[in-house]
Amino acid sequence: MSRHRIGATAVGRREQGVHQDMALVATVAISFVLAAGFGYLADRLRLPPLVGYLVAGVLMGPFTPGLNADSNLAAQLAEIGVILLMFGVGLHFSASDLIAVRGIAIPGAIGQIILATLLGMGLCTLWGWSLGAGLVFGLCVSVASTVVLLKALEERNLVNSPNGRVAIGWLIVEDLAMVLTLVLLPIVAEVLGDGAAAHAADAGGSSIALTILLTLVKLGAFAVLAVVLGPRLVPWLLTLVARTGSRELFTLTVLAIALGIAFGSATIFGVSFALGAFFAGVIMSESHLSHRAAADSLPLQNAFSVLFFVSVGMLFNPMVLIHQPLAVIAILALITCGKSLIAAGFVLLLRYPLSMALTVAASLAQIGEFSFIVAGLGVSLGLLSQEGHDLILAGAILSITLNPLMFGVAAKLKAAIGSAMPAFASQYGQPKFAALTRDLDVIREKAEEKESQQQLKKQQLVNTFPMFSEVNEHALEELLLLFRPASASPGDKVIRVGERGDAMYFIAAGAVEVRLPDKAILLEAGAFFGEMALLSGGVRTADVIAVDFCQFLKLDRRDFNIFMTRHPRLRAAVSDMARERKQMNILHDAQTDVH
């Protein structure tokens, strides 16, 4: 009887495990299917696909009839989405761009966050909310979505324009401020969560100050460690893995760095996963392989970002639109009008042009991913009610939906003001705009020069060694990583007879002589040597001596075998060349014997 019960219990556990596994699969599958469908529909309606993802989440949530996915699993998947979102923000973080627009982005973004937060807190005071709820609400409505902004600028070809660069720099400052908010909000919750003043009095001002100080010290220690050690370790590790030529291993390493730093920072330093992931992206952005890391990790970032937005939609109760329409309208007005007017006012006060003020205003007339993260943290800390969370989600969904309209309104305002006040519209702020444009042009030229140098290296490689035209762009980049520079002076013996073949040499500059027993063969720039021992696995059959100052690209035996295995056409070309040389040597020896 006991055996039967044990067996039945084991079977029950297996069935429960299968059910849980299928719940995860079902949640992911339904999320992707609905998000793809509604994302496409949103795009056809000229709305950001993000709106479709949120709607898909609403339909899957517990507040709508029909599908009811596992919100707990969705929340865990969304946590990975947050980490990858923040990793992407850090990976695309440009310190040079931010420095160029610092004169407008830093004061403008900080001032706008403060005023918009105060407006939000004032609105919450009218509703009778607590101070903590008002603070969280104000922070949520003060920051815009980087995802929505980049999509809007891309559609209007403004990403690389001065106005677009300022808007992006403004959002970077907002993102950094929100990263700091995620660190400090739990500390603020200790003060404001249980009756502000009374709790603060009980806790003691010195204790709270000490807690904040310790948190900032931990954050500083993590930042210093990341800034000092990260740029040395991470690029070296990426290069080491990239030299293996395995794309899946490289992608895995990128994700391991992102998730590993995020988890390690949370475990060791007590900072948030989001902050750790952001620093991981910033560290990786310093590597010359950052563009490849971004490209390889982008599909996974996009997938989990979709799950993040779907999970946010699952938490939204659409009934708030019916039960509290005036509150929703007030929030929407604050986001689309109040915050935009504040941003435009700061741009004009800093004496920049009207066109820039209107572009920044339209760009900030929405809230997105950071608002969701801060609102969720506020609910978990007990500062924000579920009702407040629903109102923030309603404001986000509606403001994102209306954002294309705000750009249209901005264009019409520009035309109207230009007609009414042509001198103001065309001349105001032009000196600062011209100086900013020059600075941004210098940065762009440096970036283009760096990219062109990399392209030039690839082109020179193909021009010098035509056989490499057989491989694609990624393979050329991989080959440049595999090459090790080497040099030789006239008279230096590069290869000796009888040595074990450990590398193949490509002559980038100079000339060498291949010394055979009865002849010498001159090889100049564009030629290669040392491949025969690598192909046969034998020893060197000739001395190779430099007859000029030489620069080589050296391909080690292991790297040679790995690369040639992945590119059989190139291996065939090298083998054919080696075979021709061998036949020429045999023919030469035969002719020598006859004579």
**Per-10-residue mean pLDDT, the chain, length 595:** 43 43 76 91 83 86 76 73 76 72 90 94 92 92 83 79 87 81 79 49 55 71 73 79 76 84 77 73 74 74 80 81 90 93 93 91 87 86 87 88 87 88 85 87 74 66 70 72 85 88 85 84 85 74 89 82 75 73 62 52
> Residue 17's pLDDT is what?
43
Q: Angle at CA 360, nearest 5°, toward 172 and 151?
A: 70
Which residues, other chains included, contact 591 with Cβ-Cβ below 8 Å and sequence gap of 6+? none
* pTM, entire model: 0.67
CA distance 60 to 62: 7
CB 106, CB 124: distance < 8 Å: no
- Is 514 in contact with 529 (CB distance < 8 Å)? yes
Task: Let me know: does 505 contact 554? Beta carbons within 8 Å.
Answer: yes
CA dist., res. 58 & res. 50, Å (int):
13
Query: HEC states along 418-443?
Result: HHHCHHHHHHCCHHHHHHHHHHHHHH
Instruction: Report which of 580, 291, 338, 315 is spatially closest to residue 455, judged by C-alpha positions.
Output: 291
Closest CA to 505 of 546, 566, 453: 546
Residue 528, SS3? strand
DSSP three-state, residue 124: helix
- Give the per-residue pLDDT at 155: 76
Contact criterion met (CB below 8 Å) for 368 and 147: yes
Burial-class residue 201 by CB neighbours within 10 Å (0-12, 13-18, 19+): exposed
Cβ-proximal residues to 319 (8 Å cutoff; 6+ apart), any chain: 63
Q: Rounded to the nearest 5 degrees, what angle is found at the Cα of 95, between the Cα atoms of 91 and 96?
A: 125
Q: C-alpha dihedral over 183, 185, 191, 196, to 10 degrees? A: 170
Q: What angle do CA 243, 249, 250 make, to 5 degrees?
A: 60
DSSP-derived secondary structure for 222-246: HHHHHHHHHHHHHHHHHHHHHTTT-
AA identity, residue 191: V
Q: How many C-beta atoms surround the C-beta of residue 337 within 10 A?
A: 13
User: Which element (helix H / strand E) includes 293?
Assistant: helix 290-314
Kindly report the CA angle at 539 between 538 and 540, in degrees rounded to 5? 130
| C-beta neighbour count of 227 within 10 angstroms | 13
Residues in the chain: 595
Distance CA 363, CA 155 (A): 12
Cα first-last separation, the chain: 99
Q: Distance between CA atoms of 520 and 505, rounded to whole angstroms?
A: 18
